[in-house]
Amino acid sequence: MSDARLRRVQKEIKDCAKDKTSQISIEMIDESPFHLIGAFPGPPDTPYEGGYYEVDIKIPDAYPFQPVKMKFITKVYHPNISSASGAICLDILKDAWSPVLTLKSTLISLQSLLCDPVPNDPQDAEVAKHYLADRESFNATARHWAQAYAQAPTHKSKAALGGQATDAEMAGLTEDNVASFTDMGFPRPQVIAILKRLNYRGNNVNPASYNSVLEELLK
């Protein structure tokens, strides 16, 4: 019943506003209580720490018997979140949804998804490849994205990276690798796109070889 849906959503918004400990906020965009924006801080001890993530929430007509529709507004570098659209691959937003779940508990699940990526069931295949191939470099890129898009403070310990991340770092690549191809005269955006797609992690490192990159570039 639709009235029950309205009551429940009102209740959930109110509960979230009352709860100060969870740090999760839900706000209305306009007069409709069925289109909301949820927000939560990036979980500590992850590359997303210090960032502030906003999520677009749409409540379907059959809520709570149908899952809420959520996607990230803030750009996130994460295997289960599309880096382009913010679409989320999470079971409880699909077939594992249960009517006992609430907006708050779902947002908490998203927060914990940031803690524990599931690269075997990826939404963004390139990010997942990066995550599996080189965890450290993945973490660095995720941190760059958090700083660039989620207002995470720049880490002082990583002063070597400088204040502003380069386009290579934002794509999860090292400057050296990009330079080795741009020096040959290939345009930089193309090099970055192909290296990202092929998940290039340096010469003689699996999974993409130097030659396969050259082949792609010469196409």
Strands 52-58 and 69-72: antiparallel
* Integer Cα distance of 134 and 129 in angstroms: 8
Residue 203 binds another protein, judged by CB under 8 A? no
Is residue 89 annotated as a catalytic residue, yes or no? yes
Shorter beta-carbon distance to another protein: residue 17 or 115? 17
- For residues 192 and 171, the answer to whether their CB atoms sit within 8 Å is yes
Q: How many residues does the chain have?
A: 219
Encoded one letter per residue, x for contact with another protein by CB under 8 A and - for no contact, window 82-121 reads --------------x-xxx-x-------------------
Q: Cα dist. 113→88, 101, 196, 213 in Å? A: 10, 16, 23, 33
Angle between helices 125-133 and 135-149 (to 10 degrees): 130
- Considering the candidates 70, 89, 146, 192, report the single residue annotated as catalytic: 89
Of the candidate spans 24-32, 72-80, 139-147, 184-192, the one that interacts with another protein by CB under 8 A turns out to be 24-32
- Using the rule CB under 8 A, which residue among 19, 23, 58, 66 binds another protein? 66
Structure tokens at 111: 């927060």
Residue 26 binds another protein, judged by CB under 8 A? yes
| Cα within 13 Å of Cα(29), Cβ side | 12
What is the separation of C-alpha 202 from the centre of its chain, rounded to a whole number of angstroms?
25
- Using the rule CB under 8 A, which residue among 19, 27, 167, 215 binds another protein? 27
Shorter beta-carbon distance to another protein: residue 27 or 167? 27
Residue 65 binds another protein, judged by CB under 8 A? yes
Residue 160 binds another protein, judged by CB under 8 A? no
- Using the rule CB under 8 A, which residue among 32, 85, 151, 203 binds another protein? 32
SS3 82: coil
Question: Which positions lie near another protein, rule CB under 8 A?
Answer: 1-4, 6-8, 10-14, 16-18, 26-28, 31-34, 61-62, 64-66, 96, 98-100, 102
Active site residues: 89
